[in-house]
Structures are given as C-alpha cells and as structure tokens.
Amino acid sequence: MISTFSFSYPWWYLIFCLLAGAAYAVAMYRKEDKFQNYSPWFKRLLAFLRGTSVFFISLLLLSPFIKMVLEETKRPMVILATDQSASIGSALSRESSSQWSQKVQELKTKLSDKFETTHLRFGDQVYVNGADSFQLKSTNISQLFQYIEDNYSDQNLGAVILATDGIYNEGANPQYQAEKIKSPVYTIALGDTTQKKDVYVQQVLYNRIAYLGDQFPIQVDISAFQCSGSTIQLTLEQITGKSVTPVATETINLASKTFFTTKTFLVTAGKPGIARYRVRAGNVAGEWNTANNNRDIFIEILDGRQKILLLANAPHPDLGALKAILSSNKNYEAEITFIKDLKDPLSKYSLVFLHNLPSENADIQGVLSQLDKFSIPRIFIVGMQTSLPKFNKAQQTIAIAGNSRNNEEIQGEFNSGFSLFTTSDVLKSTLKSFPPLLTPFGEYKLQGAGSVYLYQNIKKIKTNYPLITFDEQNGIKTAVICGEGIWKWRLFDYLQHENHDLVNELVGKTVQLTSVKSDKRKFRASTSKNIYKENEVILFDAQLYNEGYEMINEPDVQLSIKDETGKEYPFSFNRIQNYYSLDAGLFSQGSYSYTASTNYNGKVLTTTGTFSVEAIQLEQFDLTARHGLLKSISEQTGGFLSSPQNLEALADSLLQNTNIKPVLYESKSTRHIIELKWLFFLILGLLSSEWFLRRYFGSY
C-alpha cells in the first residue's frame, strides 16, 4: 500500500502552523518563573509539548488528507462447467457417473493450486450450487455462455472448461455465444458419437388451442437410423384417465439408413377441456433406445369461439377495421350485418356492436328487446348517422344533447382513475397522437355509475365529456364509443409501428371487458394456466369475498389435488395481503383435478378445476454426441478438445500456460487525517503530559 499526504490548501501554509505553535510556546514559557529551581531542559520540554499540540491542532484546520493506493494481486479464474442433463445420465451408468463426479472434483482441486476455480452446473438453467444429478430435462449451452459473460466478464477469467456431449435442444447455436467470451474454452467430450439403431419421434407440431367441433392437424416428424428395410406403425392415441383410444394409424416403410418423414393427422375436437394425445412409433428389433418412440401432447379444446355481430346502419370503413381486429384473436368470430338485412336471431351472439344505430331511418327497439331477453352485452358506436334522441332512449350510460348535423374532431385522453383493466404505457403515451375521431357536436353527460376509460380531448383541451365508457345495469354490460373513425387509428398504428398492436389492445380489452360474464361467486380458486411442463411449479391463487364483496382472507383454505389414479395431494393456502396463494411444487406428467374449500360463516364453499402436466422429452430423442461442435468452439476461442481420460493432461496444460497470469488490481482511496483516532490520542497525550508535569511540579 502506498500512502501520500495532501492538503486542501497550499503546502506552505504549514509555516503558519509552525509559527503558531512556536509563538504559543514562547508566549507561555518565555517569562515563566515558576520553574526557576529546576533544570532548564524542563521548561523547554513543557514549551515543546505545548507548541507541538498547537501545531497539530492548527494543522487540522488545513484539512489534510491521505491518498492511499492499494495494490492487490488476484489469481486468474477458471470456470468448470459440467452438463447435468439426462443425455449425460443416459451415457453414464450409476457407477461411472460417480467416478466422473470424482474426476471433476480432482480436476478442480488440482487447478485450485494456481487458479480461483468456480464450478457451474447447467442444463435447462445454470446452477452455482448443488450436486450432480444428470437428470435435467433439457440442455441450453448458449445460456451457459451468456451467464458467464454477464457475471464474469469483468474479472480475470483465464479459461472455461466445458464438459458436455455437445447435444443442445434449447437456445441458439452455442458457437455464436462462445465468440463473446474473451477467454479460451477447453471442452471435454462426453457421450458417444456412434449412430446406433434407433427410431424416434423427432418433433410434433400442433396448436395448443382448438375449438369444439373443428378439425385440427397434428404433424409428426419421424427419424430413423440404421433401420433400413424395416416397417413400423405410427399411431395417434387419445388418453382419457386410464383409457387409451386409437385415433389414427399410418404404416411407414423405413427405406434408408438415415430416414426422415412427416405425417399429418387430422383430428376432430370432440369434447371441451384438455385433451391428451400420444404419438407412438413402433419399435424395431435391436433398437437401443425406445424411450424416444413416444411423445405426449396436450391440447386445450374450447367450447367454440365467441360470436360477435357487427350490426351497422350502413357500410363504413370502421366495420372492416373492427372485423380485422376481432379476427386477429382466435377466441372471436366476427361477422358484419346491416340492420335492413338482419333476419337471424341474436341469441347465438356473445356481443353485438351497434354502429351508427339507432339512426333516423332505423329503429332498433326489436333488436334491444332480443339483447335484453338473452342478456347479451352491446357496444354502441356513436357517429354522424346516429339519431341522438333515439340513442338516449336506447341506453342509460351517456346522454347527448345536440344533433348529428354538426360534427367535431376529438382525440382520446386517458382517465388515470380507470381501474377495470390495465393499459400499457405505450398506448397511454401514443393515444394523444392518434388521428381524431368524428363525433356529433353536443354536450355529453355520464349517467348512472358508468366508468369512463377515455375522455374527449377537443382541440388540445381536455374535457369531462366521455369518449369510451363502460356500464352494467341489471346484469347486462354496455359500452359506448362516442366517435367514428377507428379505421384511421388502425392505419396510423401500422404507419408508426408496422403493426396493429396498440389498436388491437384498445379494442380487444374493450371487447373483453364488455363480453365477459360477471363472476358473482364469493369463493374462487384457479391455477395460473391450464397446461404446465413438468419442470414448472404449479401455482394457485384464491379469493374469498364477504357479503359486501370485499376481499378477505380470515378463514383457512384447503386444496386437494388428485391424479388419474385417484391419489390425493393435500395442501393449505398461504395468506398474502387480502387473498390466498399456493406454490404446489412440481408434478409428473398427467391430468389432474383439484378442489379448493373453505368454511366461512358456517357455510362450506368449494370450487373445482383441472390442469395437465406435459413431459419434457427433449433429452431422450437424440443421444448422439456432437463432438464436432465442441471442437469448433474450442478452436475458435483458443482452447482444445479433450477426452474424459485426459483430465490430468488438461490440468497440466492450464497450469503451465504462461498466458493465464495473475492481474494486479490497483484501488485508490482518500481519507481525511481528522478521521485518524491515533492523532486525537496524540494531541490528548501531549496536552495531558504537559498538564501532569506542571501539576506534579507545583504549577497548578
């Protein structure tokens, strides 16, 4: 450590400190006659003590400080990353896996003599702590390199040792990510590169959502090696509990040593819920791995799309824009009908838009009667063709005093107090720049207990006139959009962002809030989603409401999960703020049902549901090691490829590598002298010594 003294003032100010100390000592002891009977040195000693004390006190007034330079030598770091995926476990027996773990530990111990060593384990994620398992469900090597770059790029990283078989089934090609690491990567080639006799389901492509009664495709990619001349049966089965029902079968002739083909099955969605299907490829005599011949998939079948009617007074660009927005959502099926052509009953629709209705030439009393009869929500779009007197009678959300002969251009102003749904910050900030809508000139008043989502901004002036409003009366939801020209918003959104995401968000959430049925249950429990992967934890939340529909969490809530065999897994919810939450952990592949229950005010409240867990089979499909990839990674980073049998040679090479050197780190710090405790005690000691001597020799 190197230290230097500095001052906040010029150094020659020290002269004044010396003069102050000398002047104080001379003034005090020059004519002092109390010590005449003692040796002259005693008087000089007292003067020295007083002068030195005054000098140090004066010195502190100059705000001196110490500049310290600390030099620290840090050894180079070596990261040892070992693959813990199931493909490694398949290549190692239980005995050899323990031997391999011991070899890795010996390598780490030997390198620790010269280097700082860090052991990372990876598979689907990167793990700093833990033990060897060789059971992780997927391999993401590029994620490992990204982790090293993010956490160790600012350190003295000398080398990375990567022990894997080169098989990756998640993430990008690791070669591109390895280029970002500025240290050599030494690879240890695990696994077997021999192409063995095998048939496997390489990939299954399907939509996760289908609609009741629709046909949907399931595309299956089949690969085979060393199976030329064999014939297999490819079968699609539906699994319901313990029941297995064949759906379709294909015969495949394996015509070459390296074989690949694609087969597509068309399946009809026959029952709402989560449907489980299994793709099964037949075995071939002598096949070494049969675990990859099957794959299970889960498809959520919905009970039909919500049908939405765009009922209009006359053709208008808004109709095409709204239909395009609604059609972009798989849950909606929109159709356009003009009021004069309306013949079909409205009971089949979940939501009806009333564009420029009612008008001077079209009365919609019959339409409103049907909507009220079946409790169908509706969205009014007020435009230049709307008859305002008839409109005021058709709903009780907004009253407009004016006429449609005069119009006004208005823009949307977000209501910060709106809380029925969330709005992205991008939409909030962009909304003011959208082209203005055209609305009838007049005075707009909110009626009842409606919630205003957007206010009207007229010529850059924010008003309290509602633009988009939501209301619910007698269990029927109503929304009113006071303006036409949504088609311009859609074009503007694409012009600015080359997509329609913002307009889709605005219209989509408007439709969702209006069309969704109110849930009046006082106790609810649900999972965060319906289909999980087997490495995802199952999360639940529950809400309990009192008589005033205020959320509470006083009573205990129990949860029971049952698998397909009837085995039960009991849980208790945790209380968080005013609701309940539960992390049920990991579950194996299969379909599950759950029942949540609580006892509130002497009544037992229950709610039920289902979820499914799909297996991650990535590590079973391709078990042929990719040592060529490992060699390429090592060569491009300055390392080399090693075998598990040559770990001693790898360690010796690193220990003898003169390019991996310690780094001298220099850090600077500044400390004011007044912070030094020893200086305080020094001044105190000088003054105390002077006082003691004077006292002892009779002066005080």
55 with 88, same domain? no
| Residue from 454, 417, 451 nearest 432 by CA | 454
In this structure, is residue 619 part of a structural domain? no
Q: Cα(127)–Cα(123) distance, rounded to whole angstroms?
A: 9
Q: What is the model's pLDDT at position 512? A: 86
pLDDT for position 515: 86
| Bridge partners for 74 per DSSP | 663
Which amino acid is located at 79 in the chain?
I
Per-residue pLDDT tens digits for 460-500: 888 999 999 999 888 889 999 999 999 999 999 999 888 89
Cross-strand pairs, 261: 222
Lowest mean pLDDT among 138-142, 401-405, 429-433: 401-405
Average pLDDT over residues 103-126: 91
Contact (CB, 8 A) for 540 and 527? yes
Which tokens hold the place of 605? 């409240």
CATH at residue 382: 3.40.50.880
How many angstroms separate the CA atoms of 580 and 573, rounded?
6
Residue 307 pairs with which residues in a beta bridge? 333
- Residue 480: per-residue pLDDT: 95
Query: With contact defined as beta carbons under 8 Å apart, do 522 and 555 qualify?
Result: no
pLDDT of residue 1: 58
Residues 62-70, mean pLDDT to the nearest whole number: 81
* DSSP SS3 for 343: coil
DSSP letter assigned to residue 361: S
Domain containing residue 600: CATH number:
2.60.40.1930
Which residue, 243, 138, 247, 246, is CA-closest to 591? 243
Please report the pLDDT score of residue 483 as a whole number: 93
Residue 668 reports pLDDT greater than 90: no
Domain count within the chain: 5
First to last CA, the chain: 46
Q: What is the pTM of this model?
A: 0.55
CA atoms of 315 and 621, how far apart (whole Å): 56
Share of the chain above pLDDT 90, in %: 43
408: Cα separation from own chain's centroid:
44
Average pLDDT over all residues of the chain: 88
Do residues 276 and 411 share a domain?
no
Domain residues for the domain of 583 are 523-614
Query: Residue 114 to residues 71, 111, 127, 651: CA-CA distances in angstroms?
Result: 19, 6, 24, 11
Q: What are phi and psi of 14, to 5 degrees?
A: -60, -30
Please tell me whether residues 408 and 506 are part of one structural domain.
Answer: yes
Interatomic CA distance for residues 600 and 550, integer angstroms: 14
Report the chain's C-alpha Rg in angstroms: 40
Closest C-alpha among 80, 175, 89 to residue 137:
89
Same domain as 404, residue 545:
no
Same structural domain, 343 and 390: yes
Token look-up 């009922």 returns 311
Q: Does residue 685 sit in the same domain as residue 648?
A: no
What's the CA gap between 591 and 588, in Å, rounded? 9
List, for residues 213-242, the tens digit of each pLDDT value. Answer: 788 899 999 999 888 889 999 999 998 877
Beta bridge partners of 641: 187
Task: Assess whether pLDDT exceeds 70 at residue 674.
Answer: yes
Residue 664 within a domain: no
- Which amino acid belongs to residue 639? G
pLDDT at 2: 63
Strands 476-481 and 378-381: parallel
Q: Which helix (H) or strand (E) holds 654?
A: helix 647-655
Do residues 243 and 222 both lie within one domain?
yes
Q: Which residue has the higher pLDDT, 83 or 423?
A: 83
Q: Enumerate residues 6+ apart whose C-beta is below 8 A from 115.
A: 75, 76, 77, 78, 158, 654, 660
47 Cβ neighbours under 8 A, 6+ residues apart: 25, 26, 28, 29
pLDDT at 700: 54
Distance, in Å, from the CA atom of 552 to the CA atom of 72, rounded to the nearest integer, reads 58
482 and 340 fall within a common domain = yes
Of 473, 496, 515, the residue at which a domain comes to its end is 515
- pLDDT of 438 > 90? The answer is yes
Q: Which two tokens stand for residue 4?
A: 């230097």
Domain boundary among 515, 531, 559: 515
User: Helices (DSSP H) in 159-302: which residue ranges?
Assistant: 174-178
**pLDDT value at position 676?**
81
Closest C-alpha to 503, from 518, 481, 477: 481
Output the pLDDT for position 219: 94
In a shared domain, residues 388 and 350: yes
**How far from chain centre, in Å, is Cα 242?**
36
Considering the domain architecture, whether residues 379 and 507 belong to the same structural domain is answered as yes
- Max mean pLDDT among 94-98, 337-341, 533-537 falls in 337-341
Closest CA to 540 of 528, 530, 532: 528
Give me the helices (H) in 516-626, please. Answer: 618-621
Do residue 252 and residue 392 come from a single domain?
A: no
510 and 609 share one domain: no
Q: Which residue has the tokens 């990372």?
A: 120
Residue 698 is predicted with a pLDDT of: 65
Cα angle 309-313-314, degrees, rounded to a multiple of 5: 105
Residue 662 inside a domain? The answer is no
